[in-house]
Amino acid sequence: MRYGYYPGCSLEGISAEYDDSIRGLLAHLNVAIEEVPDWICCGTLAASSLSRLMGPATALWNVARAKHAGYDQLIAPCSACLYHFKHATKRVAENPALRAEIEALLELPLAAPPPTIHPLELLTADGFEARIRGLVQRDLSDLKVVCYYGCHISRPAAVMQFDDPENPQSMDRLLSWVGVKALDWSGKVDCCGAHYSLIRPDIVVDLCQGLFESALEVGAEAIVAACPMCHANLDTRQGEIGARLGRSLDMPVLYFSQVLGYALGLPIKSLGLKRHIVDPLPLMLAKCAQAGSAKGEVPSA
Amino acid sequence: MAPMALRHEFEALTGHDVNLCFQCGKCSAGCPMAERMDLKPAQVVHYIRLGRSEEVVLNSKAIWLCLGCETCSSRCPQQVEPAAAMNAARILALRRGRKPAVKEVGIYYRAFVNNMRLNGEIHDASVVAITHLRTGHPFHDLPLAWKLFTRGRVKPPPLPLHGGGFRKLYRRALDRDLDTGG
């Protein structure tokens, strides 16, 4: 099985910690990935909103190259890229006229492209549970988290075909394999406000304040995310959200790949744990110390 | 233009039939932006159905406030896909020369797409800087920008990828779109 890897624009910049931790985690699990040659931006909502063709064409430029390279599956860690790839792939599969138009623009064929999947889809597929359970090095059983899936990973169901769009479980299940029991909560798929962070951060504060209130209500100490936009909003805007709630939140936002990688003993730096605005290290180290592992560091072999 | 002709344009863009909507309101109820919208999602669908999208929908703030979370399309019992209708409305509004009714959203989308056309891969700092300048907030988020920079989360400007070959794609996509558009 050959896996293509599409980091997307965020993972190369503002969400570098997600890229760090995914690459580190997959390498540790012996999953070889190949970065899609000549990839470009997926287009996101901006391209889709401005032009009938530019949206799908820019997404499918990448899918066509993944097909040309011969990958069996294409891994896209960013939920927005994932959504635009899956959506465009489905539309051209169902609409031969549109497919012909886009093939002409791309000068590449689009028949039977490899499916695009989220890393959560990969890791919760057959064969990974036993492997992951067997590799646990650090004890995080005392860490209280909620899993925040966001909008795109499972909506709409007909397009994304992964997990439940109202009460997804894949991340919760994955974390349980390393001993982290995610708490049930009401904010799993509520929107974070997406790109409004740049133009109307007050809207992000409005939407995210409810998320933090729900997380606090169930006793969470950290939020675990699977999307770079969600992570950016909850991490970089946390100060403003706390100000709105009249309290200091100090609630780290971690990617599932960071939690997993940490539990499997990967070095802190390789997981991007020093890149956050709200520092997760004090919490991670304290939880490990409480559970008995010395200071959260892997004992030397 | 005959009102139902525009409704057919919506259907051609989305592949979905707004006539199936029975106004249950689940889309409006779940929309995270509904309380800020001049038209709720169910109203947008209904106006399209009535053939009043030209004068009401294409000028609305709602279609630009929509952030594509797909809660509406996910919950619609009739597969009307209100989110697709919202996106189609944005495309149709621009084809008819309407400026986005939520100015800062239009500014951001344009800055984003222009940056894509320049570099292939987005350069976050450029998009952010241009958006802030054009929305009249030149000094917005500078402390945050510095924190991100010191944490290695600000990438340097990419060279145009692969010599800029992707630019042909955008030019041809937009030309074709204008040819076949309204």
For chain B, give the percent of residues with pLDDT over 70: 95
Q: Which residue has the higher pLDDT, A216 or B159?
A: A216
Four-CA torsion A153, B81, A199, B149, nearest 10 degrees: 20
- Same domain, residue pair B120 and B90: no
Q: Which domain holds residue B78?
A: 3-95
Q: Which of A12, A94, A191 sits opposite B32 (nearest CB)?
A: A191
What is the C-alpha separation between A257 and A254, in angstroms, rounded?
8
How do residues A58-98 score in pLDDT, each as one tens digit? 999 999 999 999 999 999 999 999 999 999 999 999 999 99
Q: Which residues contact A246 (CB under 8 A, 6 or more apart)?
A: none
- Same domain, residue pair B173 and B114: yes
ipTM value: 0.94
Number of domains in chain B: 2
Average pLDDT over every residue of B62-82: 97
Residue A245, pLDDT above cutoff 50: yes
- Same domain, residue pair B71 and B148: no
Beta strands in chain A (DSSP E): 3-5, 33-35, 73-75, 116-117, 145-148, 222-225, 253-255
- Same domain, residue pair B39 and B85: yes
Select from B44, B71, B95 the last residue of a domain.
B95
Q: Which helix (H) or strand (E) holds B112?
A: helix B103-119
Select from B73, B95, B117 the last residue of a domain.
B95
Q: Name the nearest CA neighbour of A219 among A164, A257, A181, A262.
A: A181
Nearest CA in chain A to B153: A14
Residue A203, pLDDT above cutoff 80: yes
Residues A263 and A140: beta-carbon distance below 8 Å: yes
- Same domain, residue pair B153 and B80: no
Full strand arrangement of the beta sheet holding A253-255? A145-148, A222-225, A253-255
Instruction: Measure in Å the smallest separation between the Cα of A24 and chain B Cα atoms.
Output: 17
What pLDDT does A242 receive?
Answer: 97
What is each CA distance from A252 to A147, A167, A247, in whole angstroms?
Answer: 12, 22, 15
- Same domain, residue pair B153 and B69: no
- Same domain, residue pair B91 and B47: yes
**CATH code where residue B63 lies:** 1.10.1060.10
Q: Name the nearest CA neighbour of B87 among B133, B144, B48, B122.
A: B48
Q: Which residues contact A100 (CB under 8 A, 6 or more apart)?
A: none
Instruction: Measure in Å the smallest separation between the Cα of A130 and chain B Cα atoms.
Output: 33
Instruction: Measure in Å the smallest separation between the Cα of B50 and chain A Cα atoms.
Output: 23
- Same domain, residue pair B74 and B112: no
Joined together, the tokens standing for residue B13 give 């863009």
Residues A48 and A84: beta-carbon distance below 8 Å: yes
For chain A, give the percent of residues with pLDDT over 70: 96
What pLDDT does B178 receive?
Answer: 64
Question: Choosing among A21, A50, A161, A233, which should be mutated to test the B contact, i.e. which has the most B CBs within 10 A?
Answer: A50
Instruction: Measure in Å the smallest separation between the Cα of A179 and chain B Cα atoms.
Output: 30
Q: What residues in B contact A277, CB-CB < 8 Å?
A: 144, 147-148, 151
Q: Which residue is it, tokens 């001993």?
A: A179
- Same domain, residue pair B83 and B145: no
What pLDDT does B158 receive?
Answer: 78
Beta carbons of B180 and A52 less than 8 Å apart: yes
How do residues A97-125 score in pLDDT, each as one tens digit? 999 999 999 999 999 999 999 999 999 99
What pLDDT does A274 receive?
Answer: 96
* Domains and their CATH numbers in chain A: 3-117 (1.20.1050.140), 139-296 (3.40.50.11810)
- Same domain, residue pair B56 and B20: yes
What is the C-alpha separation between B47 and B98, in angstroms, rounded?
18
- Same domain, residue pair B142 and B69: no
B74 touches A at CB < 8 Å: yes
Q: Which of B120, B135, B177 sits opposite A54 (nearest CB)?
A: B177
Query: pTM here?
Result: 0.95
* Residues within 8 A of A (CB atoms), B 109-138 only: 109-110, 112-113, 116, 120-125, 127-128, 131-132, 135
Sign of CA dihedral A273, A277, A281, A286: negative
Select from B95, B122, B144 the last residue of a domain.
B95
Q: Which residue is it, tokens 């540790």?
A: A28
Q: Where residue B181 falls among pLDDT bands split at 50, 70, 90? A: very low
What pLDDT does B182 receive?
Answer: 35
> Counting one residue from A and one from B, how many pairs have CB atoms under 8 Å apart?
155
